Every structure is written in structure tokens, then in C-alpha cells.
A and B are shown apart, each in its own frame.
Chain A
């Protein structure tokens, strides 16, 4: 049969509501086309275009949030995307993370003499992938987002031409990441087989009607398990975390920052969306697994972080420990019978927002300290920083204390939110385990602080700090302290999720 062209009716598209995505796409095209058709731009100009794009997306998202008001969540483009406060806040988080990471990258590339449009175009592409993931209302759309994000990340990881470690990390990430994507896709297929749809809402409806196609739950459970493995890899939960340290260490430092903020946020929000949105009805099945994964991730991440000697590796393991903390939020959200289950996902998102800022700020300092060639990331490189660069060291101290969850920093607000969600759903033991893991992890941040403040420097390396890196760090520290001292700045938004 032949399809006449006029038989196909495109879905109605509310262009305004997907404007953040469109702006990002415009930025990518501008950088790729404009960059390749014109001679080398002025130093840092590519970065400025990238930053303006991300900032534009953030502003548009904020405006959409205001427009939505107390309106009901809807879907866009024939149920492909959701449009809710949750998805908008996640999009905003990704835009902010991208913006901050672009600042760091710009300073980095100029220092390395590798300034060009490609990296920024890839960063923006990764963010588009992330935004699609957090907005997706369909598992296939989510997979598209995931692949866009992942492919951009593989390239970005390998983008440092002067360091072989970068290429090696990129390859490792690519092979293992491909595996994880396959797991995810297989999971989607099985869930489709069991419920007859890939649409998140329809899966939920199908499951609440309590009908599993074929009569047996085996296929559904296998699908859930495979999805969890796929996501577990992307957000680096133990035991799917083994790639994290190598990739975080090998990737150019600003890209590590991007992975920690945008990558983690996108994958986690997608995980929360799928498990609470589509599979919420089956939380009795996956809830206990999530609890076990959370405990494992918290403990293993924290303990392994302590024994590292390279700061980037340390932060890789600390990011695993943070992932465990966020997973505690999902564990709370799995208690669907509790009236406070919603606290789990909203506080997890709040945690992701705060962590995005922290991790970019921390890695901005690491980028600066690593020096030209991006090589000096051992703990020794931080020795004596308190004496030679007190302001830089002070900023780093604030960020590290925040990661440790010390009060009056945003990190405490983040942890408090998660603990509150856990306690409200009566997961007291999990809350205590999470806090104790945070104490173990605190030891790691103290080690970096000891290096900076309490050890004498052995080398007389010159550290250059560009204006743009300074700005990135300043923004991160200011945000960390502002949210720490006035948590309402953030809570007034996350409370609406």
C-alpha cells in the first residue's frame, strides 16, 4: 500500500514549551557551522557563544516554570515529552551545570591552546541529550536522549589530544557505555513486551490495571532488572561503578565536571522518572533492590574514596558515594503508600542541583591546580595551596566542606533533605547508614584540606588562573554559601515538585 503524503498528520508542537531545547540546538548549529565556515574566532569567543546558549536555555526554562504556575503537568509532541515542574527543574539544573562547566572548559582550552568550536558544540549536544532524557515521557525517546548524551561524552572524554590517558579513558567509556546502553534497550524491550507500551504513562496505567501480557511477571521483572543495570551504570552505582574512576581521571578535568553535573543529573532524573513514574506500582519488587544498591554504593564509594591518592580519582569515588545518597531518595520514593513518598524524588532533585554546582566548582579548582597539560592532579599538587593561593584554597575548602555536608553550606541542605525523605518514610536504618557513609567520605575531603592548609609545598610550580575560571569558581562558591545559609532560596522551588 502506498502512503499518500497528506495521510501523515504531524503532531501538534507547542514550540514555546520546547524552546530551551531549540535554543541549545541553535547554539550547536551556530558553533559547528559558524565555526567551520569562518576563520579562528577570538580567544574565548566560542566559549562565550556556548555560555550564552546555556544561559538562554536556563532563562527560558525559568520563564516556562513561571508560566506553568500551579498548572497541571501535561505532555508535548504526542506524549513524547513531559512538561511538568519536575522536568522543568531538571532541565534548569542541566542548563546551569552546562553553563558552569562551559566557563571552566573555556578557561581550560585557552590555557591549553586548544580553543575551538568542537568541544563546546559537543558539550551543548550532551546537554540536549540530558534534557531530552529528563523530559522524556517515552522510553524510546529517553533512549535517544541517553545515546545523544553518551556519544557526546565518549568524544569529550577523548578530546584532549595531548594526553594519551584521555583517549584511553574515552575508549573504555565507549565500550562499557555501549554495554550499558544495550542493557537499557533490552530492558525497554522486555517492559514493552510485558505492558504493550514504551510510554511511561501507559506503562503505569497498564501495571495499575494489574494485567501483565502473557500472564507471568517474569518478563516484566527481567525488564526492570535490566533497566536498573543500565541506569546503574550511567549513574555509577556499586557494583556497576568500575568505569567511573578511570574515566573521571582520564577525561579532561572540565569534562569530568560536566559528567558529574549534567551526566549524573540526567541519568538520575531519568531513573527516578522511570521507576516512580512507570514502574511505581511495582515498587515492592524494585524497592528492596534499590535499598541494597544504595547501601553498597554509599559504603563502597566512601571507603574506596578514602584510599585514593589522586584528587580526580577521589572525587570520582566521592561522586559514587553521592550517588548512593541520592539513591536513598529513590528508596524513599519507593514507599508509595506513604504520604511523604514524593519527598524522595523532590529532595533527590534538590540534591542533584546542589551537587551539580559543587562538583563543577570543585573540579574548576582541580583544573586550575592541574596546570598546563592537565597533569598535576595528585594530592601532592595541592600541598601548600593555602599559603600560595589563599583565596583559591578557601574557595576549595568551602566546596569540600559542602561535599562533606557541613552546616551553612548547600551540601548540608542537600543531605538534610534526603535524610528527611528517608525518615519520613520510616527508613531509619538507611538514614543512619547514609550519614555514617558521609562521615567516612568526610575523611577524604579532610585529606585534601590537610594537603592544602597543613602541608608544605615541595615544588615551586606557577599556577595561572584565568578570569573565566575565577568567575566559575566564584559563582559556585557563592551559590554553595547562599543556599547553605538561606535554604529557602532553593526549597521554595523544590517544595513545589
Chain B
């Protein structure tokens, strides 16, 4: 009897949340400790899972399956493969960092409860292998995030939180109908009603038209979450108004639920439709890349700038996903993790700037490098990773996406590459305005990074440099699953991956 590690990954944060809700509101230290213990325990579990994960395995590992709603053929079915592995680890590590590093301004108890519920929801989304179960987690995440933005955010928080909730829920509406229809239609092929992802994907055979409709239903929900142009308008508001911890989580892992969903549920369940929808999705992705970059350039608010840069970066991931080659998808998966690390760190630092200056307006910041050189150093490194400088993590993912997509989506890649240049433009320009020059009166008092902040950022920087210099261990674990996913696509559609003669 082995330990049901995946179930624990979902339940441990929930237990933490339950425990906290019984604590006294005034005992902030104890509340924080309980939150820390449960999130760190979850983090350790995820790392342990990473160590135990057999490299080279393409299938699902650590599977746990129990019947949940037998009347509807729904089960508690969790599993992890190369595609979800690092997202789970990212979630496991990011949450304790956010909990230890960023204190809410009020109501510690409620904040921590919502954080831990959020963690459970995100974990569940990445681990679910049952459509119903996935939807439950995908949707339940809205509630804690809604309260985190609405209660601890900035001036426009209620507006942003409501917009976030309604937008995402509207997208999910299509997916719910899609899920029910998928299970209902697959019943003929399977023989009984089942919401099991693997069972449906392997046994069902949808008519071409049907599969396409269902795919569209799923992709709308994911496109809102990613967000894909033109469904992205909730994101700048939510990101800007969310408290720093919320932004880090939102950018770090929540958006990935969209891109991950596209791979796991869109492409895997409806291979033929994915091939069919390729041109549209690639076009939207590339528009997102360029539009996000241009919009980022124009922002006056530093946090909004980072938010728009997310739109651009997520565009790259979608590009990689629907280019449908081994390299591109592997790059896309890698980029999901990379973006979580670098943009998470960027939001963290924008939060630090706001803590010190109580403004995020670029024009009011000046010459910070002179008064806080170490802080500027951290910022430079993270920024360069976001731009995609070779030797740092962003480069590996982005490069794999571009090179992998070239064979199947040449002109899209050509257009997307300009996004890389634009990224350098908006980030370097912002850096120049905020950090260079002589600090004026207001910025002179900008205090240098504290020890706690430095330690927090060091973790991010370590991840950035390590993956950038030595991505192989990561790639080795991602690739087999991607390969088997593409083999599934090829065997269920007319699509054939172009063969690339390796010129090693």
C-alpha cells in the first residue's frame, strides 16, 4: 500500500484551511504558522513526487482512483504525467513562498484560508483525470481568487474581482455543456456513462463535426483563462487590482490552467478538431503576442505593463501547443513553468516597489538603481529572463517553441518573433525609466532590499538560472508524455508531424 500522494497534495492545504478557520482571528502568528506548515508540507510532497517520478515515463503516474458519484460515472481520479509534473511542483513551491514572503494588510486569518483553498483548487485542476472532477476544481478556484482580489486588492478591486469571476464563469458555461455532451456521446463507444478522461480519449470516436463543436466548447473556457486575444480584457484589471500575492499566483499558476487544459483536454480528447482549429488558434495566439507587447509598451502603470506582458507570453505557449510538434509542445510546457517563475518574480518586485513608494506609475519612479543596487540587480536578472536572454530559463522555452513551430507554422512564427523584440523594447524601456537616472526627492528614500525579500527572490533566481543553464532534466521528463500525446493525435487524425532530420 503506497501513500496516495496526489490525493494528499489536494487535501493537505484543505486541512490547513480548515484548521485555520477554527483559530482565533487575533492570533496572527499561529494562523501564519499553520498556513506555512500546510503549504510547505504540500511543497515537500510535490518535490518528493518529482524525485520519485520515473524519468522517461510517458503515462500517468501515482494514479489514485476511487468512485465518487457512481450514479453519473464520476470518479476521484488523479494522476500526473510529464505535462502536469512541473506545474504541480511549481504550484507546490510557489504557494509557500507567497505565504511566507507577503503579508496581507489585514484579516490574516481569512486571507490564509482563501490562499490554501486556492492551492487545493489549483492542485486539483492539474491532477484531475476525470472531466467532472476537473471542472469542479477549475471552477472552485474562482471563489478564493474572487475574495483575494476583492478583499485585499487595490482601489478598483471589487470591479476587477467581479469581472474576473463573471468572465471566467461565462467561459466555463460552454465547457460544462461540452463536458456533459462529451460524456453523453462517448457513452455509445464506452458502453456506460463515464467522465473518465483516459477512457473517453482512448475509446471514443466522435464524428468529425461533433468533435469540433465539443472542442470549441472546451477551448472557449480555456481561452478565457489563458487569456487568448480577444478574451483577455479581464486580465489587466484582475492583475493590477489583485494584492501582490494574488497577482503572483494568478500569473504563476492560474493562467496555466488554461494552456494546460488546452493540451490535456482539448488536444487529447479531440485530436482531429485540434488539427482543424490550428490556423485560427495560431492566429489568435500571434495576435496576442504582438498586441500584448504593444499594449505593454504603452502602459503607464508598471503592474499593468507586466500584466500585458503575460498576454504576450501566454501567446507563445498557445503557439507552441497548436503547432503540434514534439519540440513546440515541449517548449510550450516548459514555458508555462518559466513564465510562472519569471512573471511571478516580476509581480513580486512590483509589489515591493509599491510597498516602498505607494505608487506603481512609471513616471513617478526614477533612479532606483542608485539607491537600491541589489534590488535593481535582481530586477535586471528576472527581466532578462522574461525577455528570453540565452542562459536563462525564458530562452529555452521560447526558443523551443519557435524552432518547433517553424516547420508547421512558418509564417506565424515569423510574425511571433517580432514579439521577442518587442518584449525587449517594453521591458528595457520600463527599466530605463524606473531604475536609471538620478533619483528625485521622492525616490531617494527608496530602501534597499531586505534580507527576507532577498531570500525570497533568490529562490526564483536560482530556478531561472538553473533551468536556463541546464534544462535537460526538465526536458527529459516532459518529452515522453508530449511524444505520446502527439502519437495519439496522429493515430486519431490525418495529421502527420513533419520529420525533421536531426543535424546533430
* Residue positions of A touching B, CB distance < 8 A: 401, 404, 406-408, 412, 416, 419-420, 423-424, 428, 431-432, 435-436, 438-439, 442-443, 446, 450, 453-454, 486-488, 491-492, 495
Contact = CB atoms under 8 A, between A and B. Distances in A.
Interface string B165-196: 11001100110110011001000000000000
A495 B157 CA distance: 43
A273 B87 CA distance: 51
Contact of B71 (A406, A407, A492): A492
B158 interface: yes
A488 B67 CA distance: 11
Contact of A450 (B137, B158, B169, B181): B158
A488 B70 contact: yes
A412 B140 CA distance: 11
A439 B173 CA distance: 8
Interface of B: 68-72, 135-137, 139-140, 142-143, 146-147, 150-151, 157-158, 161-162, 165-166, 169-170, 173-174, 176-177, 180-181, 184, 213
Nearest to B171: A439
7 contacts: A408-B136, A432-B173, A432-B177, A439-B169, A446-B166, A454-B158, A487-B71
A439 B166 contact: yes
Contacts, number: 81
A442 B150 contact: no
Given A406-B140, A407-B140, A423-B184, A446 B177 contact: no
For B72, B157, B170, B180, which residue has the most chain A Cβ atoms within 10 angstroms?
A: B180
Given A406-B140, A436-B173, A439-B170, A450 B162 contact: yes
A110 to B, nearest CB: 31
B237 to A, nearest CB: 15
Nearest to A495: B71
A416 B180 contact: yes
B140 A408 contact: yes
A487 B72 CA distance: 9
User: Which 3 residue pairs across A and B have the least CB separation, nearest first?
Assistant: A435-B173, A407-B136, A491-B71
Contacts of A428: 177, 181, 213
A436 B170 contact: yes
Given A420-B180, A488-B69, A488-B71, 15 more contacts: A406-B140, A407-B135, A412-B136, A412-B139, A431-B177, A432-B174, A432-B177, A439-B170, A442-B166, A442-B169, A443-B162, A446-B146, A453-B147, A454-B158, A491-B72
Contacts of B68: 488
Nearest to A442: B169
B150 A450 contact: yes
A217 B176 CA distance: 40
A195 to B, nearest CB: 35
A327 B170 CA distance: 21
A21 to B, nearest CB: 30
What's the dominant secondary structure at chain B's contact region? Answer: helix
Nearest to B168: A439
Contact of B69 (A432, A439, A487): A487
Contacts of A420: 72, 180, 184
A441 to B, nearest CB: 10
A341 B176 CA distance: 20
Contact of A446 (B135, B137, B165, B173): B165
A423 B180 contact: yes
A435 B184 CA distance: 17
Nearest to A387: B107
B88 to A, nearest CB: 20
Given A453-B150, A453-B151, A488-B69, A443 B166 contact: yes
B173 A438 contact: yes
Nearest to B187: A424
A435 B177 contact: yes
A406 B174 contact: no
A407 B139 contact: yes
Contacts of A442: 165-166, 169
Nearest to B157: A454
Given A408-B136, A454-B157, A488-B70, A424 B184 contact: yes
Contacts of A438: 173
A453 B114 CA distance: 14
A431 B69 contact: no
Contacts of B139: 406-407, 412
B80 to A, nearest CB: 22
For A406, A407, A428, A442, which residue has the most chain B Cβ atoms within 10 angstroms?
A: A407
Contact of B177 (A412, A419, A454, A488): A419
Contacts of A453: 147, 150-151
Given A407-B136, A450-B162, A401 B176 contact: no
Nearest to B169: A439
B14 to A, nearest CB: 11
Contacts of B180: 416, 419-420, 423, 431
Nearest to A432: B177
A92 B489 CA distance: 50
A423 B169 CA distance: 19
Contacts of A486: 69
B439 to A, nearest CB: 37
B176 A416 contact: yes
Contacts of A432: 173-174, 177
B211 to A, nearest CB: 14
A387 to B, nearest CB: 9
Contacts of B146: 446
A358 B173 CA distance: 21
Contacts of B150: 450, 453-454
Contacts of B165: 442, 446
A401 B144 CA distance: 12
Given A442-B169, A488-B70, A454 B151 contact: yes
B201 to A, nearest CB: 19
Contacts of A446: 146, 162, 165-166
